[in-house]
A and B are shown apart, each in its own frame.
Chain A
């Protein structure tokens, strides 16, 4: 890879646009501070370890400009939001953000009475103490751009001891935009001690060429339980650079589930910091790439406290000329005694032109720990196909069963039941329309070739 000159943040991201959005004093100060730091920050490049295999060198940031002003504009593709909402059923809250501005917050009366608070940060007189702190050192030009240009932050808090039975649904719609819009949707979720909740976050955009930089920070108090589902269904011309950071307190449990389906280049960085004794983090993701999509995942399982557990399972398939990248690190900090971590990444490569990179890593600074990692890249398992065919299942149906099964295996673990069903239908349709349709044509050709071939004497 040739070295390219360090790139600075272009002038389309100007101070004027930074100043013109919002009027809360703390928000403006936060933006200005970030903006000043940005001036001395360069954009990452593919020669940086964390950006290897990415497409970041292709990003022409100067061709994008942040969306500003007080008007959220109109929705882009609310259809998937409606489907998701009906699949989920009853909910505690629905937050609708369009182009990074919070347009509506519906919180049911029960949740409100229990002290659950959901509001745009722009309505808060003081900066939420946790904002930026969960993300912590995982800071770069994109997180600074978010601080400087995010129009608002969805802030959710479930107080100590409160168990929310129905999920909180957050819809981040990029809205109707011109090509070249840059958007910075942002979410902060905190659970007090012993609280329980489920959050489902949907990201959608239209067909325009957009840059979307979503950042979600999650803070779990001691003994809290959170299910966090992220559904990325961005348009096929959208670039995404996403960050999801979590801090898990003592005895707390995070069950995170990511479905990455959309985007042109879609990057998702996951950092889960197990900060309290006996905390647990379950990090699951499914992804699907076809056409020329790139699904790019970076994960960090940061075990700081003793007896912490993390399990990561990322599974995806790529077809056509799509690519996927998985690079993950289990980091056992000194003192994380008897911590237990695993990471598993499995990739199906369904076409000759498709490609998957899978790079699991370990960084262990403590002796008394358990770590395991597994990674696989390959075509659909021929033994599995033969086994099903030997039962009398035709090859094209055997492929569909194996492929759907590959995803179902993980979809069945989606922490929000409605999400599993919703995704199962989408994945099945995507496979049937795209990947499998072209595979079936190939299979038909193979069968014809075999019939034309030499019959044993």
Chain B
């Protein structure tokens, strides 16, 4: 049993505080959904967890089984068992998926799994399970792949690497119904069985819409508004959000909306 604990996490982008104290705990086998309106800080949360250099951590901690992740480099966080499936997976020309996975496995002292025959058999089996055409195993990663294919490629990497926790950032964006089902099924199986020798996967699914949750069956739903978790509950909370939207959680603006720099440079003031 593993635990991912986020406490009091605060972070800024370009000097502006986006995450204003996040507390979450996810255990092996659990699926937690983080939902929220645009601009709530959902993507910031996923980037900060993985250590993206464009974000500044202001305070708080993120531990995986007691190990502080915030002081680790991105690759070390991954090796500690954290996986991020980004909203827009990056194309890396000339670099096949197998090379990336082999490098990651070798860096994690798992050279046996990185052996070409072993790795390729694993990738082929995963590709078949999630309906990814085998041609993508030979191509450069994410290059010439549709939105749905990219998410399948993410899922294949997740299943091959076998992390303890996965942050799925808008996994459902760009997916048709079939792809969403195939990808969700594979993730769900990982939460039930684990992947490879690893324990059951814990999931933090960040999403704007409920449809991913129809497939993923979350144990808990959290509502993220303006960088804070404003409500937490069971799956029924997602149903309620579907009906009422986020309006009930967004405080009415007290002061007039922030005004940008005076376009006239003070000429008329």
- Interface residues, chain A, CB within 8 Å of chain B? 381-384, 386-395, 397-398, 401-402, 404-410, 412, 447, 450-451, 455-457
B174 at the interface (CB under 8 A from A): no
Question: How far, in angstroms, from A406 to B94 measured CA to CA in the complex?
Answer: 6
B234 at the interface (CB under 8 A from A): no
Question: How far, in angstroms, from A394 to B78 measured CA to CA in the complex?
Answer: 10
CB pair B92–A402 under 8 Å, yes or no, is yes
CB pair A457–B59 under 8 Å, yes or no, is yes
Interface-lining segment among B21-29, B101-109, B244-252? B101-109
CB pair A394–B93 under 8 Å, yes or no, is no
The 28 listed contacts between A and B (C-beta, < 8 Å) are A381-B90, A383-B90, A386-B50, A386-B52, A386-B90, A387-B90, A388-B100, A389-B73, A390-B50, A390-B83, A391-B75, A391-B101, A391-B161, A392-B161, A394-B107, A401-B95, A401-B103, A404-B94, A405-B140, A406-B93, A409-B94, A447-B73, A455-B70, A456-B57, A456-B60, A456-B61, A456-B71, A457-B59
A-chain residues with CB within 8 Å of residue B92 when the two chains form the complex: 384, 387-388, 401-402, 405
CB pair B74–A397 under 8 Å, yes or no, is no
A-chain residues with CB within 8 Å of residue B157 when the two chains form the complex: 391
Contacts A391-B104, A402-B95 given; does A386 touch B74 at CB 8 Å? yes
CB pair B53–A382 under 8 Å, yes or no, is yes
Contacts A382-B53, A409-B140, A456-B57 given; does A393 touch B94 at CB 8 Å? no
B79 at the interface (CB under 8 A from A): yes
CB pair B53–A401 under 8 Å, yes or no, is no
Contacts A382-B53, A401-B99, A409-B140 given; does A389 touch B75 at CB 8 Å? yes
Q: Select from chain A the residue with minimum beta-carbon distance to B91.
A: A384
B84 at the interface (CB under 8 A from A): yes
A-chain residues with CB within 8 Å of residue B61 when the two chains form the complex: 456
B147 at the interface (CB under 8 A from A): no
User: Considering residues B61, B90, B91, which has the most beta carbons from chain A within 10 angstroms of its beta carbon?
Assistant: B90
Question: How far, in angstroms, from A395 to B121 measured CA to CA in the complex?
Answer: 27
Tell me the B54-87 residues at the A interface (CB within 8 Å): 57-61, 70-71, 73-75, 77-79, 83-84, 86
Nearest 6 interchain pairs by C-beta: A405-B94, A392-B78, A408-B94, A405-B95, A392-B104, A409-B94
Smallest Cβ distance from B3 to chain A, in angstroms?
20
B-chain residues with CB within 8 Å of residue A388 when the two chains form the complex: 92, 95, 100, 103
Given A391-B75, A391-B103, A393-B103, 11 more A-B residue pairs with CB atoms under 8 Å apart are: A381-B90, A383-B90, A384-B91, A387-B92, A389-B74, A392-B105, A393-B78, A393-B100, A405-B94, A405-B95, A456-B61
CB pair A387–B86 under 8 Å, yes or no, is yes
Count residues of B near A (Cβ-Cβ below 8 Å): 37
CB pair B103–A397 under 8 Å, yes or no, is yes
Smallest Cβ distance from A406 to chain B, in angstroms?
6
B235 at the interface (CB under 8 A from A): no
B-chain residues with CB within 8 Å of residue A381 when the two chains form the complex: 90
Question: How far, in angstroms, from A456 to B57 measured CA to CA in the complex?
Answer: 7
CB pair A395–B73 under 8 Å, yes or no, is yes
Question: How far, in angstroms, from A402 to B77 measured CA to CA in the complex?
Answer: 20
Q: Select from chain B the residue with minimum beta-carbon distance to A405.
A: B94
Smallest Cβ distance from B17 to chain A, in angstroms?
13
- Interface residues, chain B, CB within 8 Å of chain A? 50, 52-53, 57-61, 70-71, 73-75, 77-79, 83-84, 86, 89-95, 99-101, 103-105, 107-108, 140, 157, 161
Contacts A386-B74, A387-B89 given; does A393 touch B57 at CB 8 Å? no
Dominant secondary structure of chain A at its interface with chain B: helix
Question: How far, in angstroms, from A390 to B166 measured CA to CA in the complex?
Answer: 11
Smallest Cβ distance from A348 to chain B, in angstroms?
11
A-chain residues with CB within 8 Å of residue B52 when the two chains form the complex: 386
B-chain residues with CB within 8 Å of residue A456 when the two chains form the complex: 57-61, 70-71
B-chain residues with CB within 8 Å of residue A406 when the two chains form the complex: 93-94
A-chain residues with CB within 8 Å of residue B50 when the two chains form the complex: 386, 390
Contacts A405-B93, A455-B71 given; does A386 touch B58 at CB 8 Å? no
User: Of B74, B91, B105, B108, which contacts A390 at CB under 8 A?
Assistant: B74
Contacts A388-B100, A456-B60 given; does A393 touch B95 at CB 8 Å? no
User: Considering residues B71, B86, B94, B107, which has the most beta carbons from chain A within 10 angstroms of its beta carbon?
Assistant: B94
Question: How far, in angstroms, from A387 to B95 measured CA to CA in the complex?
Answer: 12
Question: How far, in angstroms, from A407 to B92 measured CA to CA in the complex?
Answer: 12
Question: How far, in angstroms, from A412 to B94 measured CA to CA in the complex?
Answer: 8
CB pair A393–B104 under 8 Å, yes or no, is yes
Q: Select from chain A the residue with minimum beta-carbon distance to B77.
A: A390
CB pair B94–A392 under 8 Å, yes or no, is no
Question: How far, in angstroms, from A395 to B59 measured CA to CA in the complex?
Answer: 25
Contacts A386-B53, A456-B58 given; does A391 touch B100 at CB 8 Å? yes
CB pair B73–A407 under 8 Å, yes or no, is no
Q: Select from chain B the residue with minimum beta-carbon distance to A404.
A: B94
B-chain residues with CB within 8 Å of residue A450 when the two chains form the complex: 73
Smallest Cβ distance from A454 to chain B, in angstroms?
10
B-chain residues with CB within 8 Å of residue A447 when the two chains form the complex: 73
Contacts A386-B53, A405-B95, A409-B94 given; does A392 touch B84 at CB 8 Å? no
User: Of A382, A394, A405, A455, which contacts B75 at CB under 8 A?
Assistant: A394
Question: How far, in angstroms, from A12 to B83 measured CA to CA in the complex?
Answer: 67
User: Considering residues A393, A407, A408, A409, which has the most beta carbons from chain B within 10 angstroms of its beta carbon?
Assistant: A393
Question: How far, in angstroms, from A404 to B103 measured CA to CA in the complex?
Answer: 14
User: Considering residues B79, B91, B103, B157, which has the most beta carbons from chain A within 10 angstroms of its beta carbon?
Assistant: B103
Question: How far, in angstroms, from A412 to B99 measured CA to CA in the complex?
Answer: 16
CB pair A392–B75 under 8 Å, yes or no, is yes
Question: How far, in angstroms, from A392 to B107 measured CA to CA in the complex?
Answer: 7
Q: Select from chain B the residue with minimum beta-carbon distance to A397.
A: B103
Question: How far, in angstroms, from A383 to B161 measured CA to CA in the complex?
Answer: 20
